[in-house]
Amino acid sequence: VFDNFYGTGRAQVEALRNAGHDVILEIDWQGAQQVRKAQADCVTIFILPPSRLELEKRLRNRKTDSDEVIALRLRNAIDEMHHWPEYRYRLLSGAPEEDYGKFKSLLFGERMRVSRLSKSDLNSLVG
């Protein structure tokens, strides 16, 4: 991404999942595509800005990038936004505390899915 190479090791993710932890990856659409192929039950959430103007404002307010880098980030973001239908959920970004609440709700809902209950969970429920 932007001439940088990032990655998260599969073994690290699997070890955390096997220990019963939720694993959250902040990745682009290509990375999400790879994760979906490797882990069919993964939950994907595409976070969209409220508008292109708001996205630009947020990038500029960071004061970390030059105008050229901001222009590149905007172009790339607009291209990436075309991939939101590939995701299970779409979260329209607002204030950080609102986004966090929405994210927690999605995570909680996913934890409650019947398909995620293990046999030992079911046995303890029904005896």
Give the whole-angstrom CA distance, residue 50 versus residue 91.
10
Q: Compute the Cα dihedral for 70, 72, 75, 81 and give only its sign.
A: negative
Mean pLDDT for all residues in the chain: 89
pLDDT value at residue 74: 94
pLDDT band at 3 (very low <50, low <70, confident <90, very high): low
Residue 2 has pLDDT above 60, yes or no: no
Q: 55-87 pLDDT, tens per residue?
A: 999 999 999 999 999 999 999 999 999 999 999
- Residue carrying the six token digits 């966090």: 100
Question: 92 has which bridge partners?
Answer: 48
Give the whole-angstrom CA distance, residue 59 versus residue 84.
20
User: Which residue has better confidence, 125 or 104?
Assistant: 104
Whole-angstrom CA distances from 3 to 30, 66, 73, 89 are 15, 15, 12, 28
Q: Which of 6-15, 47-56, 97-106, 117-126 has the lowest mean pLDDT?
A: 117-126
pLDDT value at residue 5: 65
Buried b (16+ CB within 10 A) or exposed e, 1-12: eeeeeeeeeeee
Give the whole-angstrom CA distance, residue 7 versus residue 29.
13
pLDDT value at residue 100: 96
